[in-house]
Amino acid sequence: MAVRLAEPQSYLKTADAMAMLRPGDLIDDGEDGEVVALLPLNQAAVRFRRGTFVLSSELLLPIAAEEPPAANGTAEH
């Protein structure tokens, strides 16, 4: 499921086995991420361009998937 961060964070927790805190500027404004795991306590692991981070689901906005063009069996000329 594609998501976007609702508001910038001052720091991010990595989803690694040995989690670390990273600066919040690793996620750009408007950058889309992909939920890769649902975690306890209403959290999700989300993969962004610069890493996978644990975020509260309350901070995530779902992004509607674009529908592919309809295949009507005719070729365009």
d(C-alpha 54, C-alpha 63), whole Å: 18
pTM over 0.75: yes
The three-point CA angle 25-30-35 to 5° equals 85
In this structure, what token pair is assigned to residue 65?
């998937």
In a domain, 70, yes or no: no
In a domain, 17, yes or no: yes
The three-point CA angle 29-14-49 to 5° equals 40
**In this predicted structure, what is the pLDDT of residue 23?**
97
d(C-alpha 8, C-alpha 29), whole Å: 7
CATH number, domain of 15, equals: 2.30.30
Range of the domain at 18: 2-62
d(C-alpha 15, C-alpha 3), whole Å: 16
Strand partners, 58: none
**pLDDT 10s per residue in the chain (77 long)?**
999 999 999 999 999 999 999 999 999 988 999 999 999 999 999 999 999 999 999 999 999 866 555 666 555 55
